[in-house]
Structure 1
Amino acid sequence: MAPILDIKNLYKNYGPVEVLKDINVAIEPGDFLVLVGPSGCGKSTLLNCIAGLEDITSGTISIDGRDMTHVSPKDRDIAMVFQSYALYPTMSVAKNITFGMKVRGVDAATQAEKLEKVAGQLQIEPLLNRRPGQLSGGQRQRVAMGRALVRDPKLFLFDEPLSNLDAKLRVEMRSEIKKLHHNLGATMVYVTHDQIEAMTLATKIVVMKGGIVQQIGSPAEIYNHPANLFVADFMGSPAMNLIPARAKKNGDGTKIEIARSNGAPLVLTDHHATDLPEDVILGLRPEDIAEAGFRAGEDVQEAECLIDMVEPAGADTYVVSELGGKQVTARLHAETKAQAGVPLDLAFDLAKVSYFEPGTGERLN
């Protein structure tokens, strides 16, 4: 299957400043691509380049097999949903949604038919005669999406569409967008700085930093096998524990030694790790450190750790212990008896471990 969006060797400069550096991304029809990264990483600029709102310095952008690099935005067969909604305040919801079709000379009967269909999909039929000023943030967001949907484009582009909504509404709208993607089978490119949003919505994630793609993969690949320290730290909440350690090969595997300020080092044996340099950074997600007795498997190793802090969080309790000079978080069950200042046996699941090179930050396993 040919990619619906194919970006090759894309560079974008503002004068001498390189904002995007050698971007290569391709997605299939029906994919939900999420561009994620901290503020200023270039994700919105990349979206604007796909839309044709920004000229690129070099490289190519193809949509459905056609080179669109120098084609104007209106001829790219895309629809964009902005953070600000960009609705016409003096027009009714119905007119906001049909305005683009009217400008393009679509006949009134087709306009009415498409409006009815989209209003049903988004459940905004009762709002059609209202004006944007009479709507809540979530309702305005639906109208902005409706305006994009009636175009039936090759690509939907979303630029942080939920960042103006409160937390509860964001979760609801996230579900709406996911459902919409599922029902329409549409291809979507979505920009966010919220990694939970990225993990929830995407079929494919592009993690960016400083205008450079750090990793491209499915949510599971990005979460379980981060390509470097930046991705490991950025994706996941709470973030992955990144613990400085020393690796020493011995007969049946590699001994991983982690310094502790309050006594002897913590020593774990990884039976699968080979060829690690002496200095490594060990990465383990909080859910891969459990209370002893609650995790079984040949790669699970237990060790006593002094608990510094206990944070109840409803269904889970997070406990923090100092290892390798870092605050290390473990995710325990809600009924744990863990107490601050009291040692507790923790189980480390080395089947889930990631190792990183301290200097370059690159993944080693």
Structure 2
Amino acid sequence: MPPILDIQNLYKSYGATEILKDINVAIDPGDFLVLVGPSGCGKSTLLNCIAGLEPISGGRMSIDGRDMTHVSPKDRDIAMVFQSYALYPTMTVAKNITFGMKVRGVDAATQAEKLAYVAQQLQIEPLLNRKPGQLSGGQRQRVAMGRALVRDPKLFLFDEPLSNLDAKLRVEMRTEIKALHQRLGASMVYVTHDQIEAMTLATKIVVMKGGVIQQIGTPAQIYNTPANLFVADFMGSPAMNLIPATTRANGNGTHIEIARPGADPVVLVDAQARDLPRDVIVGVRPEDIADAASTRTGADAQEAECLIDIVEPAGADTYAVLQLGGKHVTARLHSETTAKPGAPQRLAFDLGKVSYFSPDTGLRLN
């Protein structure tokens, strides 16, 4: 079975300015691909290239095995949901959803059947006779999704569809989109700058920066084994701690020495680490630094006494901030932690989850 979307060596330039550089990505039918990165990284431009709204400057792209490089948007068998919803204000919800089918000459019975199906799927049956001006942001978003769903296209494209909603509604709609994907088994490409949205929705994530793909992988791969310092810092909330350290080979593994103010360095012995350069950046997620008495860390955990600077209760968790390697480091502790600001606390570092990066190239070393 061919990939539902296959992009090879894609470039996009505006004059002399290169926006997308050598983009290569493919997804299988039923995949939920999320393009994520900071503003200006090229993710929306890439989505527009997939849609045919922007001509590409080099490379090729196919949808379901058919070359779409120079095919017009209307002939690509795609449906797009925009950030602005793009609803017709003078039409009812029902007419907004069926308008595209009417233009394409779909018979009235099929229109009615598809309208009833998507209205039930999206739970918008009571809204069908209203106009967009009478709807909330979340309801408008459902209508925009309904208009896409009646198409039954090869590929759904979403351009930051939740960014205009408030935080609570965004979480609810995120859950609905995920459930919709699971029910329909549809192929989706979704653009967001919100890395939590990317982690929760995607079957595959593309992390972008400056028009270049930094890493492609499952949410677990992106989170647990980031390819470089940018991905490590961008994906995760709170972000991965990135701590400068020096290494020293030893018979029982590699000694990782991390400086701290007014005290001897913290020394951790990683039995698995091999062939590391002298200077490294140690990447460790906040949840992989726990109270020494905690059962959360694994068999590779090593303990060290650390001075706590700040304690931030956050309901089920308590975040503790300390200084290591000249950086503020966040530990995610249990809510019952005994950690106090200005007092030492014995912490366990899970070396089985640690990432090592080169300070020179930023690339992952393990």
TM-score by length of 1: 0.99
Unaligned runs of 5+ in 2: none
Q: How far has the Cα of 1:253 moved from its partner? A: 0.5
Larger mean CA deviation between 74-83 and 254-263 belongs to: 254-263
Distance 2:311 2:240 in 1: 18
| Shift in alpha-carbon separation, 1:109–1:298, aligned structure 2, 3 A | closer
1:316 aligned onto 2:317: yes
Distance 2:199 2:155 in 1: 20
| Shift in alpha-carbon separation, 1:262–1:48, aligned structure 2, 3 A | same
Distance 2:294 2:127 in 1: 51
Report the secondary structure of 1:100's partner residue. helix
Distance 2:312 2:10 in 1: 45
The CA deviation string for residues 77-121 of structure 1, in whole angstroms up to 9 with x for no partner, is 000000000000000000000000000011111101100011000
1:82 aligned onto 2:85: no
User: Which amino acid counterpart does residue 132 of structure 1 have in structure 2?
Assistant: P
The CA deviation string for residues 216-247 of structure 1, in whole angstroms up to 9 with x for no partner, is 00000000000000000000000000000001
1:347 aligned onto 2:366: no
Q: How far has the Cα of 1:290 moved from its partner? A: 0.2
The CA deviation string for residues 196-221 of structure 1, in whole angstroms up to 9 with x for no partner, is 00000000000000000000000000
User: Which amino acid counterpart does residue 81 of structure 2 have in structure 1?
Assistant: V
Residue in structure 1 matched with residue 277 of structure 2 by the alignment: 277
Distance 1:322 1:280 in 2: 17
Q: How far has the Cα of 1:2 moved from its partner? A: 1.3
Distance 1:10 1:293 in 2: 51
User: Which amino acid counterpart does residue 291 of structure 1 have in structure 2?
Assistant: D
1:331 aligned onto 2:329: no
Unaligned runs of 5+ in 1: none
| Shift in alpha-carbon separation, 1:240–1:73, aligned structure 2, 3 A | same
Q: How far has the Cα of 1:357 moved from its partner? A: 0.2
Residue in structure 1 matched with residue 253 of structure 2 by the alignment: 253
Report the secondary structure of 1:33's partner residue. strand
| Shift in alpha-carbon separation, 1:148–1:247, aligned structure 2, 3 A | same
Q: How far has the Cα of 1:293 moved from its partner? A: 1.5
| Shift in alpha-carbon separation, 1:124–1:344, aligned structure 2, 3 A | same
Distance 1:177 1:262 in 2: 51
Report the secondary structure of 1:307's partner residue. strand
1:32 aligned onto 2:32: yes
Distance 1:297 1:171 in 2: 31
Distance 2:359 2:319 in 1: 26
Distance 1:80 1:110 in 2: 21
Aligned length: 365
1:242 aligned onto 2:260: no
TM-score by length of 2: 0.99
Q: How far has the Cα of 1:262 moved from its partner? A: 2.1
Spell out the pairing of 1:49-88 with structure 2 (5 A cutoff).
49-88=49-88
Distance 1:350 1:56 in 2: 45
Distance 1:261 1:21 in 2: 43
Distance 2:169 2:299 in 1: 43
Amino-acid identity (%): 81
Report the secondary structure of 2:21's partner residue. strand
Residue in structure 2 matched with residue 221 of structure 1 by the alignment: 221
User: Which amino acid counterpart does residue 335 of structure 1 have in structure 2?
Assistant: E
Spell out the pairing of 1:9-20 with structure 2 (5 A cutoff).
9-20=9-20
Report the secondary structure of 2:230's partner residue. helix
Distance 1:39 1:290 in 2: 34
Report the secondary structure of 1:191's partner residue. strand
Spell out the pairing of 1:56-135 with structure 2 (5 A cutoff).
56-135=56-135
Report the secondary structure of 1:259's partner residue. strand
Which consecutive segments of 4 or more residues in structure 1 shift more than 6 A?
none
Q: How far has the Cα of 1:297 moved from its partner? A: 4.1
Residue in structure 2 matched with residue 7 of structure 1 by the alignment: 7
Distance 1:12 1:301 in 2: 48
Residue in structure 1 matched with residue 144 of structure 2 by the alignment: 144
The CA deviation string for residues 158-201 of structure 1, in whole angstroms up to 9 with x for no partner, is 00000000000000000000000000000000000000000000
Distance 1:123 1:154 in 2: 23
Report the secondary structure of 1:272's partner residue. coil
Report the secondary structure of 2:272's partner residue. coil
Q: How far has the Cα of 1:337 moved from its partner? A: 1.4
Distance 1:248 1:271 in 2: 12
Distance 2:247 2:240 in 1: 19
Distance 2:27 2:253 in 1: 40
Q: How far has the Cα of 1:298 moved from its partner? A: 3.6
Distance 1:15 1:75 in 2: 27
User: Which amino acid counterpart does residue 266 of structure 1 have in structure 2?
Assistant: V
RMSD: 0.6
